[in-house]
A = this chain, B = another copy of it.
Amino acid sequence: MNMQLDPIDRRILRLLQRDASVSHDDLGAQVGLSRNACWRRVRALEQAGFIKKRVVLIDPDQVGLGLTVFLMIRTDRHGPDWLDQFAKATRDIPEILGAYRMTGDLDYLVRVRVADVAAYDTLYQKLIRRVEMADCSASFVMEELKETTELPL
């Protein structure tokens, strides 16, 4: 299914990525559509893959995951098997929330959520046991100014 996003779809997405707990009645009212005209559009957006999933966002501090760490990684192995191994490791380790191959002089950036510095060290040991890295330096987040899943639409 191919689809072009019209202004109403955009508004629906904008509202749903802010709060997906609204009813189709309310959502419809907010975009000026009937209950099921709105429902149809949401379903279409789901089927077309615009909406990937519905999730609950958990407060990391409340569950004891107070520390975000960014790892800047450089490798000297640029073959596909190193990347495979690294990609698999990042997928397997649940503390790793993000992993990105980058331009510039750092090769990879990894975003991690852990309880504290001790937990970070455990994770670091786990990671270097699984993948060889020429250089890996950690930067700790002191303050989270912003952190959102809302895309600019």
Chain A interfacial positions (CB closer than 8 Å to B): 5, 13, 16-21, 48-60, 62-63, 65, 68, 70, 86-87, 90-91, 94-104, 106, 108-109, 113, 137, 139-153
CB pair B142–A103 under 8 Å, yes or no, is: yes
CB pair A139–B68 under 8 Å, yes or no, is: no
CB pair A58–B144 under 8 Å, yes or no, is: no
CB pair A65–B152 under 8 Å, yes or no, is: yes
Question: 14 A-B pairs, CB-CB below 8 angstroms?
Answer: A19-B54, A21-B54, A50-B63, A52-B57, A57-B149, A65-B152, A68-B100, A87-B145, A90-B146, A94-B152, A101-B142, A106-B139, A108-B145, A109-B139
